[in-house]
Structure 1
């Protein structure tokens, strides 16, 4: 088997929320595999820092994923000025930590809007072009909270669990046009946001560590490598999969 099947040369990827954390880790891995990458987010300064780090094959667009009216123009801009979108990574999302009884309707709706409704809207728009070209890879970024129960993340859990249904249904509709739809469910991945959260709650940090079979947190590179695989010809017969990248957390007792 040639390693060329994992090359993304001549491919263009769009990574939402690609300026920091897991999104930036995914963008780095895609660039290293040969792809051109467009990262989006709301903060231009962060995006500029990201593309400086990513190099000449990286581009950015300032975009608020929750503004659904702007999505068609975003896709048109990228397709017209950079290239056809071969790979879409729906990474942008928000979190809300609160007990269910303390989560307001507004809290819940805000998370669902960002993590689910906006994801579908962008996916639908990108898929129009992918279907025309009879080729494409769409990747959702799920969560452990979509695979088993975790307290104090009711809205986040609901949004990530719903992505499984989205993957399943879109797979059945898009497969005939060679557009593959998969999800990566990251385990506990080291990032500034994650470390700041768990370092303030040592009991929860220990609970998480005990759950992980491999006994350590993952890295953004681990998620990026999974995204490269799912985007490549090496995964051309893989669609409709929820891939945990979690050090064995989903199966460990």
Structure 2
């Protein structure tokens, strides 16, 4: 019997920054789709809570791998412990807010390190094994801020713009080895990390007015695109950024 091109049963997936928020939702979707999922963040305790929550969500195992994705040695050692990776989801990220003239250099460096360096380090290490096996899927979480800008977050926008070009560059290097590298760019999503913004009536009114869909995104809105990019169904899609933003980047 022919298998579905969307089938990822038994594939081994590593999701960085997956103890909460969007990363946790993406990990859940992969577990429910039958993948063997490894959760990653810096803190083992937070990961263990998420692992317990997701353990019965699908047929495959859910494991944890606590390491800092911005530290080269920890990435190398962490991925050596993880072993084979078929699907890599680079989700770890951070935000800092301040007017440009008040933005601290240390905060700029932290944003770029977490949002860009981590993608480079983890993908470089995971790609070595993928090259040996002749296939792999790398999915990077970008943002509408890679295309649009707002006051107070210039370094964040720069980091997500850099991620989009890094995806293209990694595609150029890795596509001949059967590795697909793509990005998902969420719009404004309601999670525990954005709860203060969701609760701000003025900001929510702006999001609703600015988004053709007229609402905040829900984490479930990302999972279909994730599973498509993680599956053989997207094997000829490479170097692309897919905006999942309710139409925000399509209109003025």
Question: Above 0.5 in TM-score?
Answer: yes
What is the aligned partner in structure 1 of residue 187 from structure 2? 187
Shifted more, 49-58 versus 123-132: the winner is 49-58
SS state at 1:59 partner: strand
Aligned pairs for 1:16-95 within 5 A: 16-55=16-55, 57-79=61-83, 84-95=84-95
Alignment deviations for residues 16-75 of structure 1 (CA, whole Å, 9 cap, x no partner): 011111001100111111100101112222211111121162111111222222111111
The alpha-carbon deviation at position 122 of structure 1 amounts to 0.9
Aligned pairs for 1:196-235 within 5 A: 196-199=196-199, 201-235=200-234
The alpha-carbon deviation at position 224 of structure 1 amounts to 2.4
What is the aligned partner in structure 2 of residue 154 from structure 1? 154
8 Å contact 2:207–2:216 — kept in the other structure? no
Give the TM-score taking structure 2 as reference length.
0.94
The alpha-carbon deviation at position 225 of structure 1 amounts to 2.3
The alpha-carbon deviation at position 3 of structure 1 amounts to 7.2
The alpha-carbon deviation at position 202 of structure 1 amounts to 3.3
8 Å contact 1:27–1:224 — kept in the other structure? no
Alignment deviations for residues 177-197 of structure 1 (CA, whole Å, 9 cap, x no partner): 110000000111110111223
What is the CA–CA distance in structure 2 between the aligned matches of 1:58 and 1:226, rounded to whole Å? 21
8 Å contact 1:12–1:86 — kept in the other structure? yes
Moved over 2 A (4+): 201-205
8 Å contact 1:139–1:183 — kept in the other structure? yes
Unaligned runs of 5+ in 2: none
CA RMSD in angstroms comes to 1.3
Alignment deviations for residues 150-172 of structure 1 (CA, whole Å, 9 cap, x no partner): 22111111110101110111111
Unaligned runs of 5+ in 1: none
What is the aligned partner in structure 2 of residue 251 from structure 1? 250
Give the TM-score taking structure 1 as reference length.
0.94
SS state at 1:6 partner: coil
SS state at 2:217 partner: coil
SS state at 2:39 partner: strand
What is the CA–CA distance in structure 1 between the aligned matches of 2:162 and 2:28, rounded to whole Å? 27
State the number of aligned residues: 247
**Larger RCO of the pair (alpha carbons < 8 Å, separation 6+):** 1
Distance verdict in 2 for CA 1:204–1:3, change over 3 Å:
farther
